[in-house]
């Protein structure tokens, strides 16, 4: 059985990939160079897809797949691997596009994003690009939900940003809930704790530096007095 995460990026797909790994599935997220198959950021996969070949070399190497190009060819993957499980991660569209604008602004446009959006690959470029992204996001979700409407056993819809986790994922995959917390749990709390740590730590570091400078001054004065 193959598992395909077919939600757009910035819908907690990284968290889903981490969760699938915890459950014991060999998982690939996108096509990074750091992956076990030594990906090339989608260049090889894009070339194959453009030639109508969806039997990608990665499909034999992993159990679970998230991010692009897999969410872009979900229908072809369903034909290639009947009986597979599909997980659509969703998110409020306003929060989603806000996250995309913040995350992708100024970032290098990699091949998979260029392939997916063409000249609109940077959603922060202008209003037209932002609109293209929003339309693509909503159309993608609608098409998947319609396609699987009579196959609820094959599609799971998760909004991880609203707390969906093991409670939905494990029953869908017919697996026991692991003792480890779901990867996205308490993300906001952790972020706040991290910010608080930085706020507290910075003044402390300055105070420490001041004490060191004072210590140096006293040592110099002590040495001068001792010499006299």
pLDDT for 66-104, tens place per residue?
999 999 999 999 999 999 999 999 999 999 999 999 999
Q: Which helix (H) or strand (E) holds 156?
A: strand 155-158
What sign has the CA pseudo-torsion 16, 144, 38, 64?
positive
Residue 220 bridge partners (DSSP): none
What sign has the CA pseudo-torsion 149, 151, 156, 162?
positive
Instruction: Choose the weakest-confidence range: 9-13, 14-18, 147-151, 220-224.
Output: 220-224
Fold for 3-173, please state it. Rossmann fold (3.40.50)
How much is the CA Rg of the chain, to the nearest whole Å? 24
How many CA within 13 A on the CB side of residue 207?
5
- Give residue 219's pLDDT band: very low, low, confident or very high (50, 70, 90): low
Mean pLDDT along residues 193-200: 49
Distance in angstroms (rounded) separating the CA atoms of residues 38 and 111: 16
Q: Is the pLDDT of residue 223 over 90?
A: no
- Give residue 138's pLDDT band: very low, low, confident or very high (50, 70, 90): very high
Q: What is the pLDDT of residue 197?
A: 45
Q: Tell me how crowded residue 197 is: count the other CB atoms within 10 A of its CB.
A: 10
Q: What is the pLDDT of residue 186?
A: 39
Q: What is the pLDDT of residue 37?
A: 82
- Among residues of the chain, what percentage have pLDDT more than 90? 76
Q: Which helix (H) or strand (E) holds 3?
A: strand 3-5
- Which residue from 11, 19, 111, 27 is spatially nearest to 63, judged by alpha carbons? 27
Residues 6+ apart with CB under 8 A from 189: none
Q: Tell me how crowded residue 147 is: count the other CB atoms within 10 A of its CB.
A: 15
Q: What is the pLDDT of residue 200?
A: 47
Instruction: Choose the weakest-confidence range: 38-47, 136-145, 193-202, 205-214.
Output: 193-202
- Give residue 9's pLDDT band: very low, low, confident or very high (50, 70, 90): very high
pLDDT in tens, 19-77: 999 999 999 999 988 887 888 999 999 999 999 999 999 999 999 999 999 999 999 99
Cα-based distances in Å from 175 to 65, 161, 167: 18, 22, 11
Query: pTM for the complete prediction?
Result: 0.80
Q: In the chain, where are the structural domains located?
A: 3-173, 186-228
């Amino acid at each position: 059985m193959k598992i395909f995460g077919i939600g757009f990026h910035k819908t907690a797909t990284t968290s889903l990939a981490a969760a699938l790994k915890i459950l014991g599935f060999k998982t690939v997220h996108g096509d990074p160079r750091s992956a076990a198959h030594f990906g090339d950021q989608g260049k090889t996969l894009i070339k194959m897809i453009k030639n109508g070949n969806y039997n990608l070399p990665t499909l034999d190497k992993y159990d679970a797949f998230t991010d692009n190009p897999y969410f872009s060819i979900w229908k072809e993957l369903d034909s290639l691997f009947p009986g597979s499980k599909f997980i659509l991660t969703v998110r409020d569209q306003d929060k989603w596009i806000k996250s995309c604008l913040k995350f992708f602004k100024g970032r290098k446009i990699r091949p998979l994003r260029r392939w997916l959006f063409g000249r609109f690959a940077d959603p922060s470029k202008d209003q037209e690009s932002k609109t293209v992204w929003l339309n693509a996001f909503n159309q993608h979700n609608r098409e998947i939900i319609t396609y699987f409407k009579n196959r609820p056993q094959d599609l799971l819809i998760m909004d991880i940003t609203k707390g969906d986790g093991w409670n939905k994922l494990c029953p869908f995959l017919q697996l026991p809930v692991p003792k480890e917390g779901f990867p996205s749990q308490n993300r906001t709390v952790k972020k706040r704790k991290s910010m608080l740590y930085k706020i507290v730590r910075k003044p402390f570091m300055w105070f420490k530096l001041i004490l060191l400078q004072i210590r140096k001054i006293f040592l110099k004065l002590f040495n001068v007095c001792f010499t006299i």
